[in-house]
Structure 1
Amino acid sequence: MNKILKHENDSSLAKIAEDIMKNPNNLPRPQKDLPVSLMQALEKRRSIRKWSDTSVSEQELSNLLWAACGITKKKQGRTKSKRTAPSACNSQAIRVYVLHEKGVFLYNEETHGLIEIANDDVRQYIGTQKMMKSAPLGLVFVADVSRMTSPFLRREEARQFSAWVDTGYISQNVYLYCAAANMGTVVLSLVDREKLHGLMHLQAHEKIVLTQVVGHLV
């Protein structure tokens, strides 16, 4: 993962944006011509709990993240970009973090790149089940409440509901890509969120919703 962007613990959003502009597009272009059809991917979709030792390549990671919530139409003026997954009031509040042997990274949809959050391997905290700690790649879906600015999302109940539903859309996209790419994945709800929250250097307005592990089939 060359040219990973560095995100210091005390960086402001403005500093992050500045870093992104200096180092755009550090992931390969996603491949959108997989031979498996949507209906075939739906038929193959499974929750898989065993993986081989093969690492997920940069190209596979690029494909996976774009499928999860990548941009399909860039923003124009005041109109936000369009993505592979819908979101409540187009808040686009769910951020996807990648837990990798090289560290913790935030997927930046606008540049289709990664921002380095930490260089520690924290995959063992992806879930409480021991078998899940062997997965080569972990995804953490985080709700950024500060993005939920619509009047329809003022109530805490509405914010929680939209966070869970929007995460479900993204997670299913991951399932379908994995089915199409002959990879395995499963969603985890048993997570020590407080521990992982600290290891990922998240802020108070950022809430962990779910985690998901990905790997090659045995």
Structure 2
Amino acid sequence: MKPYTLALSLSLVIVTAGATVFTSGSFAAEPAEKRIVLPQPAVSGGAPLMDAMSRRKTTRNVSEKQISQQDLSNLLWSAWGINRPDGKRTVPTARNRQEAIVYVALKEGVWRYDAAGNALVQVAETDAASRFGAAPLTLLYAGRADDDAGGMHVGSMYQNVGLYCAAVGLGNVVKSSGRDALNTAINLPSGYKIYIIHSIGWPK
């Protein structure tokens, strides 16, 4: 089977109706929920905030160099991770409703970020990365279409991710055009829409 693009010793847990199968670095053929367990996010260290803000910029020209599993975990935690014992997140939501979803688009499919499990859950097997250009990773921020605060929630997400990218030297670009590219590939919850897409990679 084709190896996972970001597979750098990732632990893939496949949950079936009667058993749990563990594999490493490749997809199994069983029709089951596919989960990629991520390393714990590094929640301390990095560049000082003011340094990160001074470096922040849009970068469209990125290489095919893959993003490490640790950076992927850190990016997703920055976007929508749980940072307190009471389950609250790294970004605010109106009345703490937490009605947002982060999807991860890769060549091997589309994955939903499970913050509580610090894992990715596959929702589609389509080659998703190529639909958004040359970047090896694209995050899609979704929320309720009828929520007046939905744009605020995803805005906080991509602001956090942009600052993380600046802190570690990753390039990133935020776009709204093309946000419907996966509408036929993923089954969004009823009443939800993709607000923003965020492509990330190492600058050339």
TM-score scaled by structure 1?
Answer: 0.75
* Equivalent position SS for 2:83: strand
Question: Residue 95 of structure 1 corresponds to which residue in structure 2?
Answer: 101
Is 1:203 matched up with 2:196? no
- Equivalent pair of 1:103/1:121 in contact (CA under 8 Å): yes
| Residue 114 of structure 1: aligned partner | 120
Q: Give the superposed CA RMSD.
A: 2.3
Q: How does 1:50-199 map to 2 (within 5 A)?
A: 50-75=61-86, 81-126=87-132, 133-144=133-144, 156=146, 159=147, 161-191=148-178, 193=180, 195-199=181-185
Give the C-alpha shift of residue 5 in structure 1.
Answer: 5.3
Contact 1:5 / 1:115 at 8 angstroms: preserved in 2? no
Change in Cα spacing, 1:190 to 1:5, as seen in structure 2 (3 Å) is farther
In structure 2, C-alpha distance between the alignment counterparts of 1:215 and 1:58, rounded to whole Å: 13
Structure 1 residues 192 and 53: alpha-carbon distance in aligned structure 2, compared to 1, 3 A threshold: closer
SS in 2 for 1:42: helix
Q: How many residues align?
A: 180
Taking the aligned partners of 1:176 and 1:200, their CA distance within structure 2 comes to 28
C-alpha displacement of 1:192: 5.1
* Native 8 Å contact 1:98 1:138 kept in 2: yes
Higher helix share: 1
Q: Helix, strand or coil: the match of 2:116?
A: coil
Is there any run of 5+ residues in structure 1 with no aligned partner, and where?
8-18, 76-80, 127-132, 146-155
Equivalent pair of 1:34/1:180 in contact (CA under 8 Å): no
Specify the alignment match of 2:27 in structure 1. Answer: none
Structure-2 separation of matches of 1:113 and 1:192: 23
Q: Answer yes or no: is the 8 Å Cα contact 1:4–1:114 preserved in 2.
A: no
Give the direction of change, closer, same or farther, for the CA distance of 1:102–1:43 in structure 2 (3 Å limit): same
**How far, CA to CA, are the matches of 1:82 and 1:204 in structure 2?**
24
Percent sequence identity over matched residues? 32
Change over 3 Å in CA distance of 1:72–1:2 after alignment to 2: same
1:129 alignment counterpart: none
Which residue pairs with 1:12 in the alignment? none
1:121 is displaced (CA, Å) by: 1.2
**Partners of 2:128 and 2:179 in 1: CA distance:** 12
